[in-house]
Structure 1
Amino acid sequence: MVQVRVAGVALDASGQHVILLKPIDEIPGEGMLLPIWIGQLESTSILVAVERAPVPRPMAHDLMVSIIESLGAEVSRIEVTRIEEGTFYAEITLSSPLGVRVVDARPSDSVALASRIGAPIWVADAVMEDAGVPDVLTETDAAESLDEFKKFLDEAEPEDFEG
């Protein structure tokens, strides 16, 4: 397993949202990135958490945090465990009064949850080897992505976050 961080959320050439996970010991523009395609809502949720942007009402992943905490549990770690036929699988490890529990989850939900509470995110070595790509993101690309997100937040209305 390799520990990763959220390096960014971007749009691919076809307009699909993709989260980029990067080993924590690698600098931008070097090493590998793990791209995982996710939905627009999950993308927004991850960006809101990473940027610590205020939202008028709790989002679904904020609700997950509240439920976990109200049960006296905490998230120990997130793991992207495997990829099968192009689909990524993840697990959330919870420590609770009932002991350690491992819950199957989508990587997008897992990363959104981890981004809110600071839980470590891990990727199986085999997943990084199979699906990782060389990191060639430039600082200009990163700045443009951040500018796009800030513009989104400036234009967003409270109704955009209602479920």
Structure 2
Amino acid sequence: MREVEVVGVRVEMPSNTPIVLLRESGGERYLPIWIGAVEATAIAFAQQGVVPPRPLTHDLLKDVLDATGNDLAEIRITEVRDGVYFASLAFASGLEVSARPSDSIALALRTGTRIVCAEDLLEQTGIEVPDEQEDEVEKFREFLDQVTPEDFEPPEEPDGGGSAGPEPRS
């Protein structure tokens, strides 16, 4: 497993589909995961430090974990099958719970839990960006600093929990 960090969320055009972009810590590989608008907003809120007046779902789950003393050890992004990414919440007790990557990332940002990705998954779906292309990545980061949760429109269909890309068109 390789540690990854959340670069941010953006909307991929022309499909208008939100993605979360992860970067391998200390490496050159990026992992884009297509997610739903609600999860994109939850991730953007956490990155921007937005605290809603009432807890949203991911805030509620964090509060439940805190109240029950169940510490998260790490978030694991484990595989992609048929274009859908899978993750798990790994607890300090050794318990592991299957979860969508988008929800897992939103929770990790709220709890300060590290995120790791299976090495073979990074090799299979990661995109390598050499150092000389870092200027483009920096422009992307600047965009992420300016994007707001309101920039994401609700999806037309329910979120499948994170996929490897938009559905093929006929």
Please state which band the TM-score falls in when normalised by the shorter chain: 0.7 to 0.9
- What is aligned with 1:112? 106
Partner residue, 2:58? 61
When the two structures are superposed, what TM-score results if normalisation uses the length of structure 2?
A: 0.80
Q: Which residue of 2 aligns with 1:86?
A: 83
Shift of 1:24: 1.7
- What RMSD over aligned residues (CA atoms) do the two structures have, in Å? 1.6
Q: Which residue of 1 aligns with 2:147?
A: 148
Work out the percentage of aligned pairs sharing the same amino acid. Answer: 32
Work out which of the residue numbers 112, 115, 120 in structure 2 matches 1:121: 115
The offset of 1:8, in angstroms, is 1.3
Show the counterpart of 1:139: 138
Provide structure 2 residue ranges, at least 5 long, that are not aligned to the other structure. Answer: 152-170
Higher relative contact order (CA 8 A, sep 6+): 2
Mark the runs of 5 or more structure 1 residues left unpaired by the alignment.
154-163
| Alpha-carbon distance, 1:128 to partner | 0.5
Distance 1:106 1:128 in 2: 17
Distance 1:100 1:56 in 2: 33
For residues 93 and 78 of structure 1, what CA distance do their matches in structure 2 show?
6
SS at match of 2:53: coil
Q: Give the structure 2 partner of residue 19 of structure 1.
A: 20
1:72 is matched by which residue type in structure 2? G
Paired letter, 1:145? L
C-alpha deviations, 1:11-42, integer Å up to 9, x for none?
A: 1111100000101213xxxx111001110010
Distance 1:113 1:140 in 2: 26
Which of 13, 32, 35 is matched with 1:35 structurally? 32
Shift of 1:107: 0.3
Write the distance in 1 (CA, Å) between the matches of 2:77 and 2:140. 25
